[in-house]
Amino acid sequence: MSEARSPYKMRPPVMQVRVEDSMDIMIVRDTTRRAAALLGFSPAHRAQLASASATLAELVLKTGEVHTIHLNGIIDGARSGLQISSETPWLASVSANNVLTALKSKMGELVDEILLERDPTTILMVMWLTSEGRQDER
Amino acid sequence: MALEVLLVEDSKTQAAQIKETLESVGLRVRVAYDGPDGLREAIANPPALIVLDVKLPTMDGFQVCRRLKRNPTTQDIPVIMLTEKSDPKATMSGLRSGADDYIPKDIFASEHLIETLQELGLLEE
């Protein structure tokens, strides 16, 4: 099983879900809501994060390979948030710009940041809990 | 006295299941089976909470929620959308229409609904 990585300092909660079949998408959504609740996100932001993680789970499921979705609390200075990530090795040869454009057009409204890290290629999505960096303050 | 919930859901089977969940935690439930009826019910007798399906005949849940949030009588009533449409676009449409939560109708829906009721202060934890 892959390990979580982040450009930010990671902290609890640390959760992971193996995605093997379509039932796991529901489990990813549920686990994300629980991780977001532990960090103090509002119900509306939990819904956004759950939709983002379920969409990522649907994406990795389409490859036919088993993947792991990681959920991690993160800290960056005064900001704290939740990171959703998954290794996506099949995107290793695709340009980062193309991947990020596609991901942001589908999920850009749901989270504050979508990042692509290399070696191994990993999609990361972040929502910050504090107002700094929020795109969608409701 | 138990808090009253207005459930707007066109499927009688699903309405019965959601009603049972809400009643199991001590809430009273009124049911409206379409959007216009739900709006009339909410304005005539404002409930403590509205649980709203998205896919409704005549007027969808997004439209109903926007109208509820524009009406001074109903604008402060929390709205939870309970839906089969869970893609990012639908989720953002629901939240932008003013819903306090957007919960997909899956096997965890009842748990998430009750947790949100607690979060909104409508149930004791």
Tell if the CB–CB gap between B86 and A138 is shorter than 8 Å. no
Contacts of B97 in chain A (CB under 8 A): none
Per-residue pLDDT at A49: 97
Per-residue pLDDT at A50: 96
* CA B82/CA A43 separation, integer angstroms: 13
Residues A24/A17, Cβ–Cβ less than 8 Å: yes
Q: Considering the domain B4-119 in this protein, what is its CATH number?
A: 3.40.50.2300
Mutate which of B108, B120, B125 to disrupt the A interface (most A C-beta within 10 Å)?
Answer: B108
Put simply, whether the predicted model's pTM sits higher than 0.90 gets the answer yes
Tell if the CB–CB gap between B103 and A42 is shorter than 8 Å. no
B91 touches A: beta carbon within 8 Å: yes
For the segment A3-20, the average pLDDT, to the nearest whole number, is: 94
B106 touches A: beta carbon within 8 Å: yes
Length of chain A: 138
* CA B70/CA B67 separation, integer angstroms: 5
For residue A137, is pLDDT > 50? no
For residue B124, is pLDDT > 90? no
Write out the two tokens for B115: 């947790």
What ipTM was predicted for this assembly? 0.91
Could you read off the pLDDT of B34-66 as tens digits, one per residue?
999 999 999 999 999 999 999 999 899 999 999
Provide the pLDDT confidence category of residue A131 given band limits of 50, 70 and 90. Answer: low
- List of E strands, chain A: 9-19, 67-76, 79-87, 113-117, 122-128
pLDDT, mean over chain A: 92
Mutate which of A48, A51, A53, A138 to disrupt the B interface (most B C-beta within 10 Å)?
Answer: A51
What is the Cβ-side half-sphere exposure of residue B17, based on CA atoms within 13 angstroms?
A: 12
Provide the pLDDT confidence category of residue B68 given band limits of 50, 70 and 90. Answer: very high
Chain A residue whose CA is closest to B103: A47
Enumerate domains of chain A plus CATH numbers: 9-128 (3.30.565.10)
For residue A136, is pLDDT > 80? no
Tell if the CB–CB gap between A110 and B88 is shorter than 8 Å. yes
Residue the block writes with tokens 């999505």? A125
